[in-house]
Structure 1
Amino acid sequence: MKFDPSTQKFVGTQKLRKLQLYGCLSVTLQMINNCWRTHQIYTEYPGGSHHPSFHICFAFGFTTVMASFPLWLVYFKQEEINTGMNRVLKYSVQFQGNWMQKYIPEESFYSRAIDLVLSVCIFFTSCGPWTSFGFFILAPDTPIFAHTILPKTMTETMVGYLAYNVALLADLFFFFGTAVTIWFLVLAFGSLSAMFVFPICSIVGSELQFGPQIENRDKLLFDFGNVHHEYNCVQLLHKEVMNIIGFILFYMHGMCGQFCLYCNFVIIKEWDRLDVHTMRLGEGLTPTEENTEILEKHKTESALDKKLIPRVRRSCRPLDFGAEGIFAIRRNTILKFFRGIVKGTFRALLTIGK
């Protein structure tokens, strides 16, 4: 999908759908090749898991497995994502027109934060594919590349030499295209997350708070009925977006945890074999339940409002990021994540040691 400035909406075209399908297929084929070659190294190559190319092949295979599910989910849920993001944009503009008529986007912290996040995402995702290109140039004989299946003896003849180089160039473009697709997935989620999270945080975290009068906010927004209506709108938008993105967050959280566990295990287990540069590199190196508290801070002299506020507050659900009933990102999620990584690493080391 793409953003159409003339209509101020996200739209999808047949050309973009075809490119998206080609990207999904290329990542899937690369995933199958990486997993097969990794298993082949483990079972057939001398040394098995101690082979010099095993860990890098496993890492590439794990990365493609991690990217395949989000890509296919986004492909099949394209219309739902377009509808959800268009509703978020429409509601943000409507909210600004109703309650923030003196609002100046160019001077807002959240607007600048969106610009900063988008700029960082575009910069890093633009540089990312070229690292894969450089890796291919520096290490073309890595077993995950498809052309390594061909026997080296075929280069002894002129025809075989030309065929091998044609396969090498085709594999280069195929691998580079796969890398571009994966990094574009990172760009898409980074930009869409910024466009969704920051407006929601701006509305819930600032405009719906009851405290000192904000100059850019309409006085009628202090009315309890208006606050209740706006929060319900935000809650419905958030639920619609999380019905799709929540499962991706749950999947990526689990896969990233396993990948970090694998990296820690490899570094500790193979510490004696690390070169000096790798060792030096290692040395160098949230709104949830508080959303409903905005109704607690409401100060009013109306007796009816004082009775309604506690009841409405209990009926409002917190805006959790994640899959409803399965996984939610909270303030202690990061601590639990690192704790699980550390415990898993030591358990793996103790198991292998026995």
Structure 2
Amino acid sequence: MYTSIAATFTAWFGSAWIYLVFPSLPIFPTVLLPPCARDTPVVYIFVGVWYFRSVLVIWLVFLFLLSVALVFTFCFSPMITSDFRGDVTRPKCSPELREPSNFTRTYRTIEILLSLILENFGYILLPIQALVGQYGLVCNYVIIMQWDQMGVASKAFLISQMIMIQAAWVLCLTFGGWINFNSVKVLKSWKCLKLSGKEEAKYMSKFRKSCRPLYIGYPGVLKIRKVTALKYFQGVTRGTFRMLLAVKNA
């Protein structure tokens, strides 16, 4: 938890540091102003305060989601790896949970709870992914285009920030893909549940067909799966090359 807090504020400092050192980069809103107003101290301070505050709020939201994800991991992992797995011979849960009435009620409760969480907080993942992706593009742009103008300390700081932030987000995407992947295995494993009769088997079969694999994301817009982290990495890499080609052609 303390590592997450330190990483969040370090990332915020890195984002602010880029504006302090390179305020004329095209990714900042100052490029929308007339050339005569870009270099004035008033504009520099005003845009800097607005930028620092906005980035701080976004990174604090990211810290909140990361904290929720850590708590959710420790509570949710045993459920989809052992408690609700029908192919696990010795689950760690209570034997009463294996009764169909308790089993279905508990799983449906978790399904509804996760659905409510995603409906109320899942939309935050969309701007966070956009922010982290743009931050990766900015870091790549500065490292490649300003390499000869930066000192060793600046290079090391910027590279470490980029690796740390991108790795943290890829880790979150990997965790979301892991939940979806194991949730699919949970539904398939219910065929191996030891039931007492045909009625219970028929009941569990209908319940299994009514369930959908759990996922992290925003309903109807974003669903994090096993390949989402790879697609994100490909998007950042492709965006970096497109940005360099655009700068070269300009």
Q: For the superposition of Structure 1 and Structure 2, which TM-score range results when normalised by the shorter chain?
A: 0.5 to 0.7
> 1:208 aligned to 2:84?
yes
Task: Write out the 4+ residue segments of structure 1 that deviate beyond 6 Å after TM superposition.
Answer: 172-180
> 1:287 aligned to 2:179?
yes
CA positional deviation for 1:123: 4.6
* Equivalent residue runs for 1:225-244 within 5 Å: 225-244=101-120
**Normalised TM-score (structure 1):** 0.49
CA positional deviation for 1:276: 3.0
Deviation by residue 1:127-155 (Cα, 9 ceiling, x = unmatched): 649958x96xxx69x799xx9319xxxxx
Partner of 2:68: 192
Mapped partners of 2:12, 2:225: distance in 1? 35
Structure 1 residues 260 and 228 mapped into 2: Cα distance closer, same or farther (>3 Å)? same
Structure 1 residues 289 and 305 mapped into 2: Cα distance closer, same or farther (>3 Å)? farther
Task: Give RMSD over aligned pairs.
Answer: 3.9
Mapped partners of 2:189, 2:156: distance in 1? 47
Larger-Rg structure: 1
Task: Say how many residue pairs are matched.
Answer: 213
Instruction: Give the secondary structure class of the aligned counterpart of 1:317.
Output: coil
CA positional deviation for 1:339: 0.7
Partner of 2:125: 249
> 1:298 aligned to 2:190?
no
Mapped partners of 1:176, 1:283: distance in 2? 20
Instruction: Give the secondary structure class of the aligned counterpart of 2:224.
Output: coil
Structure 1 residues 175 and 328 mapped into 2: Cα distance closer, same or farther (>3 Å)? closer
- 1:303 corresponds to which letter in structure 2? K
Matching residue within 4, 29, 42 for 1:149? 42
Mapped partners of 2:64, 2:217: distance in 1? 18
Partner of 1:277: 153
CA positional deviation for 1:326: 0.9
CA positional deviation for 1:236: 0.3
* Identity across the alignment (%): 25
Contact kept, 8 Å, 1:246 with 1:323, in 2: the verdict is yes
Partner of 1:120: 3
Mapped partners of 1:178, 1:243: distance in 2? 24
- 1:260 corresponds to which letter in structure 2? G
Structure 1 residues 343 and 121 mapped into 2: Cα distance closer, same or farther (>3 Å)? closer
Mapped partners of 2:213, 2:228: distance in 1? 16
Contact kept, 8 Å, 2:180 with 2:213, in 1: the verdict is yes
Matching residue within 220, 238, 242 for 1:343? 238
CA positional deviation for 1:122: 4.1
Contact kept, 8 Å, 1:129 with 1:179, in 2: the verdict is no
- 1:247 corresponds to which letter in structure 2? Y
Deviation by residue 1:100-147 (Cα, 9 ceiling, x = unmatched): xxxxxxxxxxxxxxxxxx33334545x649958x96xxx69x799xx9
